[in-house]
Amino acid sequence: MSHPQHEALKQFSHQINFALQNYTPHGVKAADIKQIIIAGLGGSGIGGRLASSFFVQSATVPIACISDYTLPGYAGPDTLVILSSYSGNTEETLSVYEDAVKRGCKLLALTSGGKLKQLCEQSGVKTYTLQPGFQPRMALGFSLTYLLQILGEMFGREVHAELAAVATAVADTAHFEEDAMQVFNSVKAKARSKFVVITDASYEAVGIRFCQQIQENAKHECFNHVVPEMNHNVIESYYGQLDTVYFFIHANAHDRVASRFEFLQNLLEVENNKVVNIITDGFSIKEVYEVIYTLDWLSLYVADQRRVDSLNVPNIASLKNFLDQV
């Protein structure tokens, strides 16, 4: 019998197509605002970090991503706040909604329902509806695809064709399952070792996403570091053979950064540390979606190897119950 998480992940192409088919223009112009804030947590929040990474060089206003209860002090009527909560009941995001309304911010929302959808309907906030029935961490195809279109409309970048091509590419799930299994087979002997993900700046959000999936699906420690910053501190902990698997994710786009990864690999491998290289041909929408999809499958294979329940999240559920009582 197929695992529910595996079946959910096979819907990735469907999620992209759903967001493409249901997108409608929001009409907010970059000239009318001074900044954008994307608010969300966990599987709902990572879409904002991923989407904003594509517009670092082209955005005419700054984009900030927050995962908290309140907006930064500069937020006001000239701020567009995009709220992302798959369930519509994430308490931090609902708190940001209230804060944004008080400050007179412009608002957009992405949700499948819950209290957030109800509030947005009552106040006339344009809402992009996500199909219900998924766990937030398995619903990234919806939020990321919507967010790329939202930002693309604002900054004059046409993304529909690229996203449609991605939807077609990832429909061949077997190809990505095979690629993920190949990586898994190279690390399964150390599936109980700590995982460390090292990325370049472009792929930082992809690294964070992989860590989140390993943490939630495989119930396993996984941490993300970014080159060149980690070369100024974290590298000093790399002495001897460590009980760690290192994943390098980068575009090989900057000569000096590429040299740093080369040095790191030599430093680690000379002490027989395990390094997995995931080097892409560049930083494009297609590359990012495909790397994410492969690594999502890898997280499920690690979960299966560790014989843990990738579907349920008891610690998170316990925390929510605790917070409901305080």
Catalytic residue among 102, 158, 232, 236: 232
Residue 249, phi then psi, degrees to nearest 5: -125, 115
For residue 116, give every residue at least 6 positions away whose Cβ sits within 8 Å of its Cβ, in sequence order, or none.
Answer: 83, 85, 88, 89, 90, 93, 94, 97, 109
Residue 320 is a catalytic residue: yes
Q: How far apart are CA 29 and CA 155, in angstroms?
A: 8
| Catalytic residue, candidates 216, 225, 250, 290 | 216
Residues marked as catalytic: 216, 232, 320
